Amino acid sequence: MQAMELSAREILDHLVGFRSVSSDSNLDLIDWVEGYLASHGVKSQRVYNAEGTKAALFANVGPEVAGGVVLSGHSDVVPVDGQDWATDPFTVVEKDGRLYGRGTCDMKGFVALALAAVPLALKAGVKRPLQIAISYDEEVGCVGAPPMIAQMVKDLPKAAAVVVGEPSMMRLVNGHKGGAGYKVHVKGFEVHSSLLPYGVSAIMEAARLVGWINDQNTAIQARTPTAIAAMFYPPHTTVHCGKFAGGTAHNITAGDCHFVMEFRVVPDEDENEWADRFVAECKRVEGLMQAIQPNTRVTLDRFFDVPGLRPEEGGAADALVRRLTGDNAAEVVSYGTEAGQFQAEGYSCVVCGPGDIAQAHQPNEYLDVAQLESCWGFMQRLVQDLAD
């Protein structure tokens, strides 16, 4: 097979052209990446979802020895439905020093650069491997990375560092909040509102749980932040209800209520402990409901679970990115990434990638050409570091 000699920009054109919205399959994109790697003699491995409709992919470029570097990105993008785009979102359009297209910034730009570094690493004869990791379904709760990472731990030599290329303007991010989210269904019992004590209003019982959320935020904000929490904005864990719907009429106790809530947890706290507290409160409220009508209930669907990324004292990934970027500062962010999932499996991990996070998910999303070039310089220095 003839090697596919493509620049990062040319690879980006291909990747953006695949409509890998989280609701759809990404297998056409994965097929292309697999073929690209194979054209350079690099074997890759897939990790499918349960339905076989999506896959993550990882590969080892260079010798099969420990101490390499993982470049990690996700293949999925958010939808463009309802957004006002000036250009075709699935075609890269260059204008005024910007590359417009869905995923150019978040985060197919980084994936394209990582893939462009593969032949560079082969030609340099790296002594430690460059490893590529591409996940699915990051945008719907980082659900595709954990099975991929677990398989990498089994099948690849352990890397010394992981760089997750979420857009950070090529600045070092070594900490972020974790998170967990629940879709909540409160099943009540309908009666005429004049008979309120004999029914169970799903809305009013759900409101107890939203009241619990408000109480937690009040208590959290009254505490003095820890040293880790003080690094973040806001400097504490947050609990939030973002969607709430239920009921059929003003004079009927609501039979159903649905709401969605989430935790954003500073990395020196445990998102599972917070989740357990919410579950316990749901069981308490359910008990009050069932004392009136036994067939009522509170049902929980935990739809995402992302561990935080804790800044590492003397971490290998931190030192690597500082060395390659010359960035002596470090930042933390309040959103979550797959970096915390790598760290949870024992990898040293940071976030560093091209583009501005403010562009993520926006209409007319773009990546500055200057950021693409800056990250390409990073890739060249990384390959040289692995070759030395």
Sequence-ordered alpha helix ranges (H) in 263-352: 271-290, 316-325, 339-344
- Structural contact between residues 271 and 179, judged by C-beta atoms closer than 8 angstroms: yes
Q: Which residues are catalytic?
A: 76, 138
The order of strands in the sheet holding 98-100 is 93-95, 98-100, 366-368
DSSP conformational letter for 369:
H
Q: What are phi and psi of 367, to 5 degrees?
A: -125, 125
Q: Name the packing angle between helices 8-17 and 109-124 (round to 10°).
A: 140
Q: Distance (Å, rounded) from C-alpha 247 to C-alpha 279?
A: 23
Distances (CA, A) of 302 to 24, 57, 135, 279, 286: 21, 25, 20, 10, 17
The vertex-109 CA angle with 116 and 102, nearest 5°, equals 140
DSSP conformational letter for 106:
I
